[in-house]
Chains A and B, each alone.
Chain A
């Protein structure tokens, strides 16, 4: 009997394991891919990009993060990208002051940060500064032999499993000639809509072409290496529903009980802490979250806080260190590969610098069009809406400090002094309250510690005072009334918080931008046209059986140009194609 039961137990156990495996297999890890217009830039250029996201439909992150860093690992650019229909696009202005060298672009989502940094998308680019005559940081490895196959010229579409057919109307074109080509999907599943990005840029020999999106997304190296993660390792929240602010609180030594050597807040105390987030504004605004037993907090930030100065503080009077999570922190160092250390690279970079100089002289810079801006939401997480009392102190004779203001024009509020400290309260709430929460005092929409921080403010420094002499609730936190003070400049710079507080800049998503396509009318006929990027279309929508035509103009630069198209369908299937065209003056 016991043997039979043991067998049943084993069967159940194996069933469990299978179920667990199934659950895990159905969820694929998020991956991002960045398609850039080129690989080699000159300082002062714009880098155009389209970011693609692959993940589980309905559970994909809304935001991706892009970091560009130099060989010293110092971050040159940190951006938050907003993902719509699995992609985000835009541009990065490469400042004129950047040093020549190899830079790394790293892209990831907050969810991907739970995995190792190897799962992040990385790409190397070269930036040459036209004032650097000796481009020392990029060395040429001698002995490398250039072959067309290594650079991707010789390979045909079919050999690379390309599923996008590019048909050019010709192979060789004259400078400034109008060029057209068509694209059509091959073996795409029915009823798919693909989002593509198209780049046509000067082909630099020897520099190997990038991994295409299909190859990158189908590379399961990171996911196969990955063991089933445990819950504790998933410390970074998925940003499926919006931007997440998270971090930890470490109490000051006096808050830790004797003999506690760890820095974690004990579960008894930390879970009672409330973290408040707000921004200086003409209205009282606030979001809050409870700190968990490990001292961690996370909050889904309202879009109102995008790009604004955030003031984060603890509601409770406690000394602690607040450490917000920096989403742009990269732990692995950037060690440049030698993919750009090829013969002739220095000459190519010097030439690029000279062409950039010509473009600068003739003011031939790409005009950038903003398609969509991600502005902060206008709807405010307000603490109260109506039924408040407004007082305008400037309507009265000048009063020296807030105690005097209260005494003379705000009889509903009482300020008393106890042990050299001022205490504000609504006397009407003295006997009606069953809550121990104190009066909430706000300065320019931000909660402050107590009335002592504003006691010296005279009536000439205050624009408006709002009062709510009632027990207020905001979610499950309560206040014995609200006192809100607004100054004419809405500044918080003079306020020193006694309790734990932190100022932080809220992230704002990059706008969707694209270059305005070149037309011959944009340039005077006798001006040189030295564009190295002939076309960049960051988002093209291609229906399954559709044949899409593109037109663009060749520049005066002769040589080979590469058409590089990457994309993703609405179902997450990747799509890519490439072709080479030659621009060469034909004898008449």
Chain B
């Protein structure tokens, strides 16, 4: 038993010493250099009411890298994106306070691991939205980036309202449904937004290539709801048609 203790202490000593020695070796080079840790500006997020759990893009706080407008990269920040609010929230690690980050400060954010998917990028876009005369900034999920890029804005609308009773008290619950808005962005940064990817809407992207678009639809027979791979292949096709 005593010898077992000595052996354990020896191993503990080994680990400690090795860590220290490697720190000594690197102290004047990499260890002693400061990595960029830019501050991201934002506003204290105050919940004015409960946010429906289904409207979060990521229900849990996920690590993300944020590319900032000033060229810096803020790495490993715990963030949550709300499709309903179209806002990126950051959990301040020391106080756990939730901060709504300034949209203009962020060019792009990348979820490092969204349920195993490491390729989820959101990009800030300037688009014209309904009812608002000026262009507004949105965060669109990057589906495909090329000569013609496709971004999806995850918007939510109240589909119906349900009344439920709990302990004799009646509550009204809003049931949300996602209505994605698709934004195609050309190389000249011009964006075209559409709520549905039907043939007629796609004619706007390439008015002279109606026949090719028709042929694509006949061959591929996409349904109303496109999955991610279908969206990618559609954008690749449109890209090839537009930039022929």
Contacts and interface: CB of A to CB of B under 8 A. Distances in A.
Given A111-B28, A287-B39, A473 B33 contact: no
Interface residues of B, number: 47
Contact of A471 (B28, B40, B43, B105): B43
B34 A299 contact: yes
Nearest to B101: A473
Interface in A1-59: 1-2, 5, 8-9, 12-13, 15-17, 19-20, 23-24, 26-27, 29-30, 55-56, 59
A344 interface: no
B93 to A, nearest CB: 8
Interface string B46-65: 10000000000000000000
B41 A238 contact: no
Contacts of B30: 59, 238, 240
Contacts of B11: 12
A120 B194 CA distance: 63
A214 interface: no
A111 B29 contact: yes
Contacts of B6: 2, 5, 9
B14 interface: yes
B41 A241 contact: no
Contacts of B23: 231
B27 A231 contact: yes
A23 B25 contact: yes
A384 B103 CA distance: 10
A27 B34 contact: no
A333 B41 CA distance: 47
Given A5-B3, A20-B22, A476-B94, A298 B34 contact: yes
Contacts of B44: 433, 435, 470-473, 478
7 nearest A-B residue pairs (beta carbon): A475-B39, A20-B21, A385-B104, A23-B25, A471-B44, A379-B70, A238-B33
B92 interface: yes
A474 B23 CA distance: 32
Nearest to A8: B10
Contact of A386 (B21, B27, B102): B102
A379 B29 contact: no
B71 interface: yes
B24 to A, nearest CB: 6
Contacts of A203: none
Contact of A237 (B14, B18, B33): B33
Given A5-B3, A19-B18, A383 B34 contact: no
Interface residues of A, number: 66
B204 interface: no
A506 B18 CA distance: 40
A507 to B, nearest CB: 16
Contacts of B97: 434, 473, 478
13 contacts: A24-B24, A26-B25, A228-B25, A234-B28, A300-B34, A380-B70, A381-B70, A381-B72, A385-B105, A471-B44, A472-B43, A473-B92, A477-B39
A2 B24 CA distance: 32
B225 interface: no
B102 to A, nearest CB: 5
A486 interface: no
A16 B14 contact: yes
A243 to B, nearest CB: 10
B35 interface: yes
Contacts of B39: 287-288, 381, 474-477
A56 B44 CA distance: 43
Interface string A279-321: 0000000011000000000111010100000000000000000
Interface string A451-475: 0000000000000000000111111
A244 interface: yes
A244 B35 CA distance: 10
Contacts of A8: 7, 10
B16 to A, nearest CB: 9
Contacts of A304: 70
Nearest to A482: B41
A115 B32 CA distance: 13
A470 B43 contact: yes
B99 interface: yes
B207 interface: no
